[in-house]
Amino acid sequence: MLMTTIAIVAVLGGLIFFHELGHFAAARSLGMGVSAFSLGFGPKILKRKAGKTEYALSLIPLGGYVALVGETDPKDMPEGFTEEENFALRPAWQRLVVVAAGPLANMLLALLLCWTLAFGWGAQILLPEVGDVNESSPATTAGIKKGDHILAVNGSPIESWEQLSAAIAGSGGAPLRFEIARSQPDKQQALVTLSLTPAQSVRKSIFGEEETVWIIGVRAAGTTVTKSLDFAESVLAGARQAYTMLRLTWQGLVKLVQRVVPLDQVGGPIMIAQMVGEQAHQGLAGLLALTALISVNLGILNLLPIPVLDGGQILFFILELLFRRPLNEKFREYAMRAGIAALICLMLLATFNDVWRLIKSAG
C-alpha cells in the first residue's frame, strides 16, 4: 500500500510539476515576471525568495503551480515587478509560447523517459520463430513448420517478428520467398527456401475497427532476446517509442470523437492510480513506460481547444494574432464558462466509468 501511494504521488505529482515547469521556463526565458513557483499545493512548508520569485514546497505533493505576473488580472502588479514583465501586456505570440510550453514539456518528458528505457533496459526483440501454424493457411500449404526460424523474406534479412509482420503486411498479396533455418533430428540446422502467397483476412484493430490485412497463418513462438543499445541507438529507439505513443493517443482521441471507441472506455484519476499502483509492483521499467504514456496523454489533453485548458488559451492567442486585436472580454468570459462546463462533464464521465469498473470488478 505504501509503495502504491508513493508511486501515485511521484508519477501524478511529477507530471503536473513538469508541466508547470515548462510554463515557468518559457516565461522566464522571455523575461516575464513570475511571482511564485511551488512544488505542490496548499499551505507552504518551506519557501525561499530568489530574485523576485518566491520558490515554495507546499503540503499537498500533487503537482505544482506557477504564478505569472498579470496572468489573472493585468492590473495586479506585485511589488518589485514592472509593466514589461506583465504577462497580459506581452505580444500574443509570446503568451502563446508560454502557454504551449506546458504541454510541450510533457511531450519532452515522455521522450526522455522512452530514451531512458531504451538506454537502461535495451530493446526487447520478439524473434521471428514460428510457434503455431494454422491449418489450411498459406504457411501450411508452403510447408512452414513449428519451430522454423525465418531468416529472410525476398532476400531482406529478418531479425524480429515485427519485421516479418511488416514484410507480410506490405506484400500486397504478391508471392514471397522465405529463407528458413530448420532444426533437424540430429540438432543440425538446415537452410530451407519456400515460396508462398499471403492471403487476405479481416481482423479488428486495437480500436475495434475491422481492417483487411495480409496473413500467412502463423503465430510467434514467443521467444525474446534483449538487445543492448548504445547512446545513438537508444535515442532513435526512444524517439520511435515516444512517437508511437503520441500517434496512438491522438488516434484514440479521434476514434473517441467518431464514436468508434465507446465513451465507457474513458478513464480518469482512479483508473490511472490503479494502473500506476499495478506497475509499481511489477518493476521500474513498466512504471517508467506508463509514466511516459500518461505524460503524452496529459500533453494532448491540455492541447484540446477547450478554453479552460492550455489549448483553449492557445486558440484565443491565435485568433488575436489573426484579428490583430484582443478578443472581446464578454466572448472570453462565456467561452471560459462553456469550457469549465465541458471539462466538468468530462471529469464526471471519467469518474463514473472508473467507479463502475470498480463495482464490476468487485462483483
- Give the residue-averaged pLDDT of 160-173: 94
Residue 63 has pLDDT above 80, yes or no: no
Grid cell of 257 as nine digits: 470523437
**Percentage of the chain exceeding pLDDT 90:** 57
Please give the distance of CA 180 from its chain centroid, rounded to a whole number: 37
* pLDDT for residue 363: 63
List 20, 71, 85, 129, catalytic entry: 20
Per DSSP, helices labelled H in 35-121 are 92-121
- Give the residue-averaged pLDDT of 285-292: 94
Residue 335 has pLDDT above 80, yes or no: yes
20 an active-site residue? Answer: yes
N- to C-terminal Cα separation, the chain: 22
pLDDT of 212-241, one tens digit each? 999 999 999 999 999 999 999 999 999 999
* pLDDT for residue 79: 82
* pLDDT for residue 60: 81
pLDDT of 106-158, one tens digit each? 999 999 999 999 999 999 999 999 999 998 899 999 999 999 999 999 999 99
pTM: 0.86
Q: Could you name the CATH architecture of 125-227? A: Roll (2.30)
d(CA 59, CA 55): 14
pLDDT of 82-102, one tens digit each? 889 999 899 999 999 999 999
User: 41 near 64, Cβ under 8 Å?
Assistant: yes
Q: Where are the domains of the chain?
A: 102-121+238-362, 125-227
Collapsing DSSP to helix, strand or coil, 220 comes out as: strand
pLDDT of 259-279, one tens digit each? 887 888 888 888 888 888 888
